[in-house]
Amino acid sequence: MQRIILASLLLLMSLLSAGAEDEKQFDVNSVIAEPVAKLPEPRFWNGVGELNLLVFTEDESVRKHVNQGFVLLHASWDFEAYRHFTTALKKDPNCLMAYCGLVLSVANPTHEWKAERAKAFNRMITLSEYKVGEGEQARWYYPDIERGYAFCIATLLTEGSGPGSKAFRQLSNKYPKDLQLKLLAAFLERGGYSDYGDIRPSQRASLAKVRELVDLYPENPLVLNFWLMMQAEAPYQAVDVMQVLMPTAKKLVVLSEGKLPTWHAVLGHLAWRSGELELARLSFERAIELYSQWQSNDQISDVNAIGLCRAKIFLAAVLYAEGKIQDALQLLGEVKSIELPDGRQFSQVATALQWHAKLLPTQIYLARGGKGDLKKALSVLPTVPAQAAGGFDPYKIVIDGYTLYIRALESEEAGKPEQAREYYAKLVQNLELMQKAQPKMVQQPYYVDYVRALGALKIHQFELLGLLSAESELAANWYRSAIDRQHPSSRLLPPEILYPMEFRLAEYYKNEGDLENARKFAHQGLKRMPSCPKCKALLKSLN
């Protein structure tokens, strides 16, 4: 919650910094990012859901673009949604709902197009307050529901999810026939899951509301997608991914006639979570094929194809799980070769390349854990120049953290426990620096990636404590601490650690001769990550 509040305050500052809008000076092109302004009009995608929003405009094509923009936004294709909203604004610069959608499509506080978002936000507010007539005869120009959308979005972005969810719920109650409002209200009211994987009451209530809508609209992809997205990253204990979620993902693929890449990617993620590796690979390969066709047909550069980039990175993790290490590394080599144009160092693709594509080879070798793999893991770590005296490079400190972790593992493997403990002590110091610097990272586009890297290294810290502990029972407790710090992976990218910490505890019990507990925790590891080769191999050795 603290992160949400801080992000909201940062966004509010960026919005206010744009200043009040001058109606006479406003140029609609100012809300359209240059890389998108040069692109052709986007195509319309079938089978992604219908909203039938009554958009206030005289141009029917504008209404279609706005509706398409919102459904694509909900289908996790923000870039394509942005294109539709900007196309609508080129045709009608005074379309309030197009500004509402545009602001949502780049709502991330650190988005590289935050300057365009700030101007669109101010324009949205200006239009929502516009009146015609004088004195007592004055009336609002735009429909009440559209002004309500603008108010809700402004509240959500400047005050956070709590006030934002209340605003959307109130507007939904006022306009009960607006399907999107019902879905957004339920989605924003969700409460997620506890650290132990238990569903929170607010999450249960939100899911029940969306489930009612699924029963009413069983063939509406938009409704099915909301129900799926609310659970796609749930802890493994909270939902049966294979039995509950995958059928819905497969249905979404069918309803879109297999032509929407984002839903193939979602199916790939869920299949990977379920251990259905062949389906995961085929799904990501199909997503990549469709993204590539779209990229070619619409003249989309690599730096704007974040969905394609993420699908390739996740496919590499799937290939590793299938035992196709060289295929995975070759694919990552292709991804890492993407050239970034000047001025796009804060793009989503740039962040994915640096924090995921470049680190995944090391994570693959660490997960494989065979003879010589630690040397390989170290050799493929990205090279980062030393920072100037007194400087702080967040990426370098993460690389340093992995280097110290691997060095400690090498020393432990070589039978040099004292040297391993020295590396461990340096890792602890490294993590303290990372933790101390975290608040300074909030305004950076890689903030979430930095936090994820910090979380992964903390898990490795407790893993090392277990490996280096001289006392048997103490080692088991350290492994349990590592297990407790694991969280569900993102549906967009593979996790930073490609094996569950239950593997370490199972391995520990095997070495202790306690085969019953070894089997127990190997099974638990496979429940958390059914695609894990190490857990499968360990369990096979125990049978």
Question: What pLDDT is recorded for position 10?
Answer: 42
Whether 161 and 246 map to the same domain: the answer is no
Residue 104, domain extent: 1-189
Of 333, 358, 383, the position where a domain reaches its end is 358
Do 170 and 245 reside in the same domain of the chain?
Answer: no
Q: Residue 23 CA to chain centroid, in angstroms?
A: 37
Domains in the chain, number: 3
Predicted pLDDT of residue 1: 32
Residue 352 within a domain: yes
Which CATH number fits the domain that encloses residue 295?
1.25.40.10
Domain annotation covers residue 91:
yes
Instruction: State residue 392's pLDDT score.
Output: 80
* Whole-number Å distance between alpha carbons of 299 and 51: 28
Amino acid at 227: W
Alpha helices by DSSP H, 160-245: 161-174, 179-189, 201-216, 221-229
Residues 38 and 536: their CA atoms lie apart, in Å, by 50
pLDDT digit string (tens) for 129-181?
A: 999 888 778 899 999 999 999 999 999 999 998 999 999 999 999 999 999 99
Positive or negative torsion for Cα 37, 39, 43, 48: negative
Q: Does the residue 134 lie in any domain?
A: yes
Distance CA 197, CA 243 (A): 18
Query: Is residue 388 a contact partner of residue 409, using CB atoms and an 8 Å limit?
Result: no
Q: Is 209 part of any domain?
A: no
Same domain assignment for residues 27 and 135? yes
- Cα separation, 74 vs 378, whole angstroms: 40
Specify whether 50 is located in the same domain as 141: yes
- Residue where one domain finishes, among candidates 330, 358, 386: 358
Same domain, 245 and 184: no
Write down the pLDDT at residue 243: 94
CB-based contact 183:220 (threshold 8 Å): no
Terminus-to-terminus CA distance in the chain, angstroms?
45
- Determine the Cα angle at 22 with ends 444 and 147, to 5°: 75
179, 58: one domain: yes
User: Alpha carbon of 260 to those of 285, 392, 399: distances in Å?
Assistant: 13, 42, 36
Residues 264 and 161 occupy one common structural domain: no
Query: Do 122 and 5 share a structural domain?
Result: yes
Domain-terminating residue out of 172, 189, 206 = 189
pLDDT of residue 5: 33
What is the identity of the amino acid at 258? Answer: G
Each of the 543 residues of the chain gets a pLDDT tens digit; together they read 333 333 444 444 444 444 445 556 789 999 999 999 999 999 999 888 888 898 999 999 999 999 999 999 999 999 999 999 999 999 999 999 999 999 999 998 889 999 999 999 999 999 999 998 887 788 999 999 999 999 999 999 999 989 999 999 999 999 999 999 999 999 999 998 988 888 999 999 999 999 999 999 999 999 999 999 999 999 999 999 999 999 999 999 999 999 999 999 999 999 999 999 999 999 999 999 999 999 999 999 999 999 999 999 999 999 999 999 999 999 999 999 999 999 999 999 999 999 999 999 999 999 998 889 999 999 999 998 776 556 789 999 999 999 999 999 999 999 999 999 999 999 999 999 999 999 999 989 999 999 999 999 999 999 999 999 977 789 999 999 999 999 888 899 999 999 999 999 999 999 999 999 999 999 999 999 999 999 999 999 988
CA distance 165 to 423: 47
Q: Tell me: do 468 and 533 sit in the same domain.
A: yes
- The encoded tokens of residue 425 equal 């002590």
Cβ atoms < 10 Å from Cβ of 511: 11
Asked if 235 and 193 count as a contact pair (C-beta separation under 8 A), the reply is yes
Burial class for 195, CB neighbours closer than 10 Å (0-12, 13-18, 19+): exposed
Domain assignment present for residue 536? The answer is yes
Check whether residue 117 and residue 180 sit in a common domain: yes
> What is the CB neighbour count within 10 angstroms for residue 491?
19
List all residues 6 or more positions away from 48 whose beta carbon is below 8 Å from its beta carbon.
68, 71, 72, 75, 221, 222, 256, 260
Q: Which long-range contacts (CB under 8 A, 24 or more apart) does 147-154 make?
A: 147/96, 148/174, 148/175, 149/96, 149/97, 149/100, 150/96, 150/99, 150/100, 150/124, 150/125, 153/100, 153/103, 153/104, 153/124, 154/121, 154/124, 154/125
Residue 405 lies in a domain: no
| Site of tokens 């289908």 | 75
Specify whether 178 is located in the same domain as 59.
Answer: yes
Q: At what angle do helices 306-321 and 325-336 cross, to 10 degrees?
A: 160
Residue 335 lies in a domain: yes
Contact criterion met (CB below 8 Å) for 40 and 298:
yes
**pTM score, whole prediction:** 0.93
Q: Give residue 390's pLDDT.
A: 60
What amino acid occupies position 35? P
Same domain, 148 and 258: no
Asked if residue 217 is part of any domain, the answer here is: no
- Quick one: DSSP state of residue 499? S
The CATH number of residue 509's host domain is 1.25.40
Q: What tokens does 429 get?
A: 């110091």
Q: Which two tokens stand for residue 526?
A: 């496979």
Contacts of 154 (CB under 8 A, 6+ apart): 121, 124, 125
